[in-house]
């Protein structure tokens, strides 16, 4: 599979952050999972979080969207301290959407019913609701599975559905927790293309994590590598794979993107 992201839309040299994590620590039952992490996410970038299973990637996402309160530190969105705001306020006021690592849809409802359910929560006018649903169906080619229960559709189709549901809210920020895990090669490529298109066409800031470096680095502008509760390196894909600390802690010596 070739590198999908052949061009970088922006180099993000000027600092224009939409989300900032300030000195975040997370302690579960006396276990320190995140240790004094600070991270700025630039507006309109695709940022990748890399790190082995259990390093704290999902925990970071949950802290950003409000499902978890950090033990210490602040979550700033659009220059506003959101650390104590509930999930729904971050979703509505700050247009933050998240596709969780597992689930994120109603198993017993059809694809169309799943989209309708989310749309009824977010969009008041029936016409606008229908317009939005039609757009998502076309955008992700969901026509042929509209009436199939979500529990019966394939892994790739589920990811498209969950991303589609997250877009109903017209998000400015989209958090994708392992959207490529357990997918075949073509489905991974499809998700990478979706990510790049969402950034390019809809100007959404995207944070995506994966434990598989190859899949992730093909579709991000910048990535950070997590190890032992810390961010050990941050940079473009080429910069981080050449980094000594990242090689020691995560990539090994023989890793290549292509």
Ligand X SMILES: Nc1ncnc2c1ncn2[C@@H]1O[C@H](COP(=O)(O)OP(=O)(O)O)[C@@H](O)[C@H]1O
Q: Are 205 and 44 in contact (CB under 8 A)?
A: yes
| Three-point CA angle 40, 236, 185, nearest 5° | 110
Binding of Mg ion at residue 65 (CB under 5 A)?
no
Question: Looking at 41-49, 53-61, 118-126, 129-137, which segment touches Mg ion (CB under 5 A)?
Answer: 53-61
Minimum CB separation of residue 35 from ligand X in Å reads 12
Minimum CB separation of residue 33 from ligand X in Å reads 4
Q: What does the buried/exposed string (b/e) look like for 50-70 if buried means 16 or more CB atoms within 10 Å of the residue's CB?
A: bbeeebbbbbbbbbbbbeeeb
Half-sphere exposure of 34 (CA within 13 A, CB side): 28
Binding footprint of ligand X on the chain (CB under 6 A):
28-29, 33, 51, 53-59
Cα–Cα distance for residue pair 38/201, rounded to 1 Å: 29
Question: Looking at 49-57, 113-121, 197-205, 246-254, which segment touches Mg ion (CB under 5 A)?
Answer: 49-57
Q: 75 or 142: whose CB is closer to ligand X? A: 75
103 binds, among ligand X, Mg ion, none (CB under 5 to 8 A by kind): none
Residue numbers 144-183 binding Mg ion by CB under 5 A = none
55 binds, among ligand X, Mg ion, none (CB under 5 to 8 A by kind): ligand X
Cα–Cα distance for residue pair 181/24, rounded to 1 Å: 26
Task: Pick the binder of Mg ion from 25, 71, 83, 101 (CB under 5 A).
Answer: 101
Minimum CB separation of residue 63 from ligand X in Å reads 9
Q: Judging by beta carbons within 10 Å of its beta carbon (0-12, 13-18, 19+), is residue 221 exposed, middle or buried? A: buried
For binding to Mg ion (CB under 5 A), which residues are involved?
57-58, 101
């Amino acid at each position: 599979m070739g590198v999908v992201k052949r061009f970088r839309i922006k180099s993000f040299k000027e600092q224009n952050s939409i989300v900032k994590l300030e000195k975040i620590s997370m302690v579960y039952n006396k276990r320190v999972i995140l240790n004094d992490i600070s991270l700025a996410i630039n507006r309109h970038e695709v940022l990748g979080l890399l790190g082995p299973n259990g390093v704290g990637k999902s925990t970071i996402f949950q802290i950003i969207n409000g499902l978890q309160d950090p033990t210490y530190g602040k979550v700033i969105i659009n220059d506003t301290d959101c650390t104590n705001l509930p999930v729904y306020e971050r979703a509505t006021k700050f247009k933050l959407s998240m596709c969780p690592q597992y689930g994120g849809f109603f198993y017993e409802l059809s694809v169309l019913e799943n989209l309708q359910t989310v749309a009824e929560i977010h969009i008041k006018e029936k016409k606008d609701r229908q317009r939005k649903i039609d757009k998502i169906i076309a955008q992700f080619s969901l026509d042929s599975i509209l009436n199939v229960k979500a529990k019966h559709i394939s892994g790739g189709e589920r990811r498209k559905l969950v991303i589609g549901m997250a877009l109903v809210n017209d998000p400015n920020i989209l958090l994708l927790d392992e959207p490529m895990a357990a997918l075949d090669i073509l489905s991974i490529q499809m998700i990478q293309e979706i990510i790049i298109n969402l950034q390019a066409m809809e100007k959404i800031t995207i944070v995506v994590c994966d434990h598989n470096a190859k899949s992730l680095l093909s579709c991000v502008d910048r990535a950070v590598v997590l190890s032992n509760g810390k961010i050990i390196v941050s940079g473009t894909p080429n910069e981080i794979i050449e980094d000594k600390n990242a090689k020691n802690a995560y990539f090994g010596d023989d890793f290549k993107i292509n």
